[in-house]
Amino acid sequence: MAGAGRSKKPAKLDGEKLWTYAVRALGARAMASGEIRTRLQRRAENPPDIDAVIGKLKEYGYLNDKKFAENYASARLENAGLGKQRVLRDLRQRRVAPPLAEKAVDDTYAGSDEVVLIEEYLAKKFRNVNLGLTLRDPAKLASAFRKLRYAGFSAGNSIRVLKRYSERAGEIEEDSADPLAE
């Protein structure tokens, strides 16, 4: 079988079909305009159709980066309990303009105490575990720190909270490899 396992290139779409494709894509999952633009670029038969479709999506209220960023940040805080830096990175990956992403994240996290968020995150990730006993092991302590950093919490506050469970938390380097570094 020649060509078995190869993926076919997506069919190129004219303006009307591109519009239908965009509406269906947004119906399946909310997206930022940068994300939908990337998808449309792969499918557009005629590149100028992309701007027309995006303009129409905005005009109809189907595409609003400000609302998207606000809703996304709020959901990531309330449902996943993630830190500011993780949410900001995720919004940037979703191609939300940096100033817009930063404002949405700052507004969302304005009334939050990062230390409380870290405690809640640890309680969720290590439920049914005695953290005091578990974090005596240097490898598990380091793992917990990496999890907190990957979840978007600051090194200083992460160490501050981990010190409540392990005296060795003070040995963790605040500037150790940052899992969020781009």
Residue 134 CB burial class (10 angstroms; 0-12, 13-18, ≥19):
middle
Residues 72, 91, single domain; the answer is: yes
**21 falls within a domain:** yes
Whether residues 121 and 164 share a domain: the answer is yes
* Residues 132 and 105 grouped into a single domain: no
Q: What is the pLDDT of residues 61-100, one digit of tens each?
A: 999 999 999 999 999 999 999 999 999 999 999 999 999 9
Domain extent, residue 93, equals 65-109
Is residue 155 located within the same domain as residue 118? yes
What domain count does the chain have?
3
Residue 6 covered by a domain: no
pLDDT for 108: 97
Q: Is the pTM of this model over 0.85?
A: no
